A and B are shown apart, each in its own frame.
Chain A
């Protein structure tokens, strides 16, 4: 990493001020993209992220508070990937190793850069007085980038090329000028070129703003002071993380859970964790997990580390969001596992796998100290895509793709019941209003409600999942669903019970059916008037069900959160 100036520790006051100013730059970049993005996955679901990264190591220096949490850990890998390609292409005498002022690199490679191919990462080197000072980067989920399935959640993919177009790090901007050739390639590889063009513009505008703001801050405080503050913030994050780990009792805490299947072969995949705590250090050992698989629930190593980062930040929320969070943690992630897969293993469903990693980290931490952990959340994003062509005279033949993620319950915790209908722990996404979806696409929601009996029982009950039912108003459409938790429910902690499993069903010739792979299926044919239905899981419970107050049980019944009378003996969590 960059040599931060040595010398006496920075005065705590300037440091506190600069911390706020730096975070504000990243937050403003987030806000700029959200307001100008075209696709609702960015504009409404905030599936994007911006930050500042170390000029030498690529490590996260500063991250916005509003970006997608899972990117926080993944972006450092993205910056390193762009830097590596630039270096390989540059001459031996290039002092900046291929990075030039005014360039912006773009790519979607998920193996080096993390997450999946919908996420386009833009990396812009930031120069001061002719020297590379740091990187600014932007990542955002584009609506459609080719592949076999609109929206790219293809549960039947066995190679990355079936999922999406693969773009290695290339320069979309050279010396301040947009490369029309690269743009033409990108636009030719999407079903929704306007959306892509609009989102790309939003990301470029966010990076421009970040550059202006950072120059302003450096002019005001001086480069050396800001650099020193960045170094201090990292070392303080390390210190805080260590002090949190030290409060957990030493020991080995193991937990495994499964993914239903990989969408190709109907066999469960194991995500197994051995968490070791010794003094101020923690080891997260995932080596007992399943080997990489044929279908798209693989994730790259970069993504796996990002998932651990998210879980630890949820357990210890006061630690600042920078690379220091991970300095106190050792990872054991041998190559060739479902959580350390390599090209061309498909990775489109990365969200499901990292949610399961977070689940096992929560459950293992609960063994160390249940009061600090939360029970598992609903554990699947349920990526649903409904696509077809317009048949009305004005828009005849026009393609439409409705793509959205759905919510579920959060886990209970030592302070109370879990939140009903929350967003996934890896994101801060809000769901688009159903009225916006109905105005944009030929569908009608017939139900949008809380799902009774979906939260895990316990002293504190898990939050409730939801029922969503959607009817097709056009002649024909194809439906794609990529979900999880169809076979194995989210678990409780400290004796709390499990939530309900995820159920996806669809109408076909007046009959309700469920997919053979439970919550994953491609190309379901839907006719006008037919419906699909999602019943999402709640969160796991906390503490023994026998400890739940009678008044809480009565209230649950009165409000219809729970319909069945409580069982005398409740099955406890795994």
Chain B
């Protein structure tokens, strides 16, 4: 945004498509570009897309990118050969995890750490929990272990010492020694990535960071040089898991922060769309081929989680958009177990071979098969704009007949409806988890489906959860690319204090905040982006002495100097009361961590650029038979993008657009708002 007339482009590289959202600030217009993704060579698909944005990349002022390159590399174990240098006696922390197992029942789990044992080397050093140095670090050992890792072919290294949250001196000295001799920049200090108590979580997060640095770094370097070669002179920014964006350099330093980059951007867009539609409280649901991802946005802010697991034992601890994932997508397989219980998922046919109706060899019924058989997806007009040829409704019928209808003694149509009902119930359960379990009543929220499959189920979700407003954004399939353009820049930091409130040094706390604020501001400045304003969030993780789980306590202050012990106590008791309905008098209060976030608010654009222009048309494109609630209905079909602002459609109706289909049940109606969203309500 250095040149106000340039284009701002959001790029989301998905499994199938690379979506670009192009905002022309000068003309106030927006458009969408979709190109096929090139898996394993994401930069190529990216550049193909950019090539279609403008005649010259020089016209682009800013590119904001949501990427799954890091996550995919972890899942496929295609990361750099990485070593760990650690405190003597602790090389197995990464492999021992927190002594857990993948499933409660069954005992057949296994775990393969991202760094194998022979590349985890120890040195003499030790810091105690009070921060005192028990054994100074032996830098000669550090250097020789680093040499040994290089000789073993390591490209990246993580230095992880015990108790560095209390005093990082030994680790810093070791990292400095390693950086002097390491041939590249891929040296991660665990306490720089996460200066927080809990050794496994810190070690895992820092190690994944180290292993990703070469992968993400080379990907972004190639993107940047390809873009520059095309004349691009603006800024390349990357979306983080916390929903904020960061500079390319920050992404190369802490690539572990990209773990949920793409999905986070989608949630940010949903939050903004819902805000503009007058619903600051919204639950989002992204239904893909294998999973359903739910997030909650309260008062316009997406909820954040402290950590996530990429898979069993692969823990990333850093603030990230809270996303609850369940195995219920279009490809989820329906089956009946030996006791006659109908199950849907978590087993999935994915996109390849995909549902039975794709005719690619899977013979078991999926959610998509049920939607096809019941007429919600027209078999001759599948989603994806020509990706698939027509789908085979007969194959869908046969699969449902054999695997669900016969075992349950149901008619095939009733069996198909049962599949959808169970799938909808599972998805509704995930919505309850993100809302009720965290103290929110889902009935006071709007529901916003995005992704390709969500809009088919919007009315069902509203019925199941008791939501009274559904919002289908104008372009649900490119929501993540849109979110890239909207996201603010955000940097989070954490520091463990682990002190009783009574003995907490308030002056020291204020000083820590000032220092961390300056460091975060430096990150903001590094991106070369203009902000409308800068906001900060100061919170403490607190608990009663003796507890181990903390409550996050936002401090109601606008500057560090307003902080006092009394302010902290009052805020803690309010937060504890809200979480557990009681406070515990007479028990000492402790402060575990300081959490700080600094947000550079980027200029917002008017979402009305998404709205339909011109007179449009409410002309129906035909009629379609849809089976619902035990009978066939004649649903009127509309091309959704033609509908003008203010248009009202009553269910039963099918609204079609290239990236999704909306099934409007009988008893619901939808209106097009000023931003092009469909607002769905019970009639």
Contact = CB atoms under 8 A, between A and B. Distances in A.
B266 to A, nearest CB: 26
A413 B108 contact: yes
Nearest to B119: A559
Interface in B87-127: 89-93, 95-101, 103-111, 116-118, 126
A434 B418 contact: no
A435 B163 contact: yes
Contacts of A438: 128-129, 163
A12 B546 CA distance: 46
A201 B282 CA distance: 33
A428 B100 contact: yes
Given A435-B199, A560-B118, A24 B105 contact: no
A439 interface: yes
A21 to B, nearest CB: 7
A403 to B, nearest CB: 13
A445 B104 CA distance: 29
Contacts of A561: 117
A429 B548 CA distance: 14
A314 B90 contact: no
A100 B429 CA distance: 32
Given A32-B580, A69-B104, A438-B163, A422 B99 contact: yes
B8 to A, nearest CB: 41
Interface stretch (B46-54, B247-255, B420-428, B505-513): B420-428
B498 interface: yes
Contacts of A28: 436-437
Interface stretch (A34-42, A258-266, A287-295, A543-551): A34-42
Nearest to A442: B129
Interface stretch (A122-130, A237-245, A268-276, A519-527): A237-245
Interface stretch (A151-159, A345-353, A447-455): A447-455
Contact of A12 (B129, B341, B498): B341
Interface string B385-412: 0000000000000000000000010000
Interface string A393-422: 000000000000011001101011101111
A373 B92 CA distance: 28
Given A13-B342, A35-B579, A432 B107 contact: no
A197 interface: yes
A13 B548 contact: no
Contact of A558 (B118, B340, B408, B580): B118
Contacts of A433: 98, 197-201
B109 A410 contact: yes
A516 interface: no
A401 B515 CA distance: 37
Residue with the highest number of chain B CB atoms closer than 10 Å, among A417, A439, A469: A439
A34 B579 CA distance: 13
Nearest to B423: A16
A535 to B, nearest CB: 13
B433 interface: yes
B101 A428 contact: yes
A473 B130 CA distance: 12
B128 A430 contact: no
Nearest to B546: A38
Nearest to B103: A317
Given A430-B99, A438-B163, A449-B90, A374 B200 contact: no
B338 interface: yes
A353 to B, nearest CB: 19
A558 B165 CA distance: 33
B101 A24 contact: no
B111 A38 contact: no
A436 interface: yes
A7 interface: no
A182 interface: no
A567 B437 CA distance: 55
Contacts of B200: 433
B117 A560 contact: yes
A369 interface: no
Interface stretch (B62-70, B362-370, B519-527, B581-589): B581-589
A421 B104 contact: no
Given A205-B580, A435-B197, A13 B95 contact: no
Given A413-B108, A439-B498, A447-B89, A432 B97 contact: no
A415 B108 contact: yes
Nearest to A216: B436
A35 B549 CA distance: 6
B107 A314 contact: yes
Contacts of A411: 107
Given A208-B581, A419-B110, A469-B89, A20 B429 contact: yes
A318 interface: yes
A505 interface: no
A423 B437 contact: no
B88 to A, nearest CB: 8
A69 B105 CA distance: 8
A313 interface: yes
Nearest to B587: A194
B184 interface: no
A16 B339 contact: no
Contacts of B581: 205, 208
A285 interface: no
Interface string B519-559: 00000000000000000000000001111110000000000
A428 B109 CA distance: 13
Interface string B332-343: 000001111111
A43 interface: yes
B340 A420 contact: no
A470 B587 CA distance: 29
Residue with the highest number of chain A CB atoms closer than 10 Å, among B116, B166, B338: B338
Contacts of B548: 37, 40, 43-44, 432, 436
B654 interface: no
Contacts of B584: 197-198, 201
A211 interface: no
Contacts of A318: 337
Residue with the highest number of chain A CB atoms closer than 10 Å, among B200, B545, B548: B548
Given A314-B106, A446-B89, A559-B117, A435 B129 contact: yes
A13 B421 contact: yes
B432 interface: yes
Contact of A205 (B116, B118, B338, B582): B582
Interface in B55-93: 89-93
Nearest to B162: A435
Contact of B339 (A239, A377, A559, A560): A239
Interface string A174-217: 00000000000000000010110110011001001000000000
Interface in A1-33: 12-13, 15-17, 19-21, 24, 28, 31-32
B107 A377 contact: yes
Contacts of B422: 13, 16-17
A420 B337 contact: no
Contacts of B99: 406-407, 421-423, 429-431
A427 to B, nearest CB: 9
20 contacts: A24-B432, A35-B579, A36-B547, A40-B548, A43-B547, A65-B104, A244-B338, A314-B106, A416-B110, A419-B109, A420-B111, A433-B197, A439-B166, A444-B128, A445-B162, A448-B92, A448-B96, A449-B90, A559-B118, A560-B118
Given A422-B100, A422-B101, 8 more contacts: A12-B342, A34-B549, A38-B544, A198-B547, A314-B105, A417-B110, A423-B101, A438-B163
Interface of A: 12-13, 15-17, 19-21, 24, 28, 31-32, 34-40, 43-44, 65-66, 69, 192, 194-195, 197-198, 201-202, 205, 208, 236-237, 239-240, 243-244, 313-314, 317-318, 374, 377, 406-407, 410-411, 413, 415-417, 419-423, 425, 428-436, 438-439, 444-450, 466, 469, 473, 558-561
Q: Which 10 A-B pairs have the closest CB atoms?
A: A317-B105, A407-B99, A236-B339, A240-B339, A447-B89, A431-B99, A438-B129, A430-B98, A17-B425, A317-B106
